[in-house]
Amino acid sequence: MSTAEFFKWFTPIVVGLISAYFASSLALKKFKKEKVWDERRAAYKEVIESIEEIIHWSEQVRASHCCEPTIGNEGDLDGSLRSLAKYSATGSLIFSEKFHEVLKNANSKVHRVMFQIDDDSKPDLDSEREMAEWRFVLANEIRAVLEECLPELIRVAKAEQP
């Protein structure tokens, strides 16, 4: 076999392998990027749904306190607060820096409000009426904090869509 015949067979094989390598690396890169976005989108969805669940809870508490009709269930406040705290602590692994910063600020404001209201009114919770008043104030304060940050979180999440 001469050198010319060798290169006649060898060149298409090398070009094919190099082309296959670059095509597969580009496809894998695109797949990884889409996979990361899917995970991030699911986490964004969970955070926003948790905030909506807390806002729903606060609306149900407000409506019940004001003798208005309610939908029936008050929502899962503890689970939603836990979800916010979880993503506030570990969200830097998933979220963008801006989204994580807004989420951390919202979580800290909610916990600060809860602590302040607990600290100010726990000694006064002797009757059912005082307990209902405490829940009403707590729900209104938490709702105010979350309704302030929710549009910003949605805006940041929309800006990151591919």
Structural domain boundaries in the chain: 38-159
Give the residues of the chain that fall short of pLDDT 50.
Answer: none
b/e code 88-105 from CB counts within 10 Å (16+ = b)? beebeebbbeebbebbbe
The whole model's pTM is what? 0.78
pLDDT 10s digits, 81-96: 999 999 999 988 889 8
Question: Which pLDDT score, from 0 to 100, does residue 122 have?
Answer: 62
Token look-up 């298409």 returns 12
What pLDDT, on a 0 to 100 scale, did the predictor assign at position 123?
55
pLDDT at 130: 79
What pLDDT is recorded for position 84?
93
Burial 128-138 (b: 16+ CB within 10 A, else e): eeeeeebbbbb
Say how far apart CA 38 and CA 128 lie, in whole Å.
46
Taking a C-beta distance cutoff of 8 angstroms, is the pair 134, 117 a contact? yes
pLDDT at residue number 1: 65
The predicted pLDDT at position 7 comes to: 76
Residue 118's pLDDT is 76
What is the pLDDT, as a whole number, of residue 80? 92
pLDDT tens for each residue of 104-117: 999 999 999 988 88
| Cβ neighbours for 57, distance < 8 A, ≥ 6 positions apart | 74, 75, 76, 77, 80, 139
**From the candidate CATH numbers 3.40.50, 1.25.40, 1.20.120, 1.10.10, the one assigned to the domain spanning 38-159:** 1.20.120
Instruction: Report the alpha-carbon distance of residue 108 to residue 106 in Å, rounded.
Output: 5
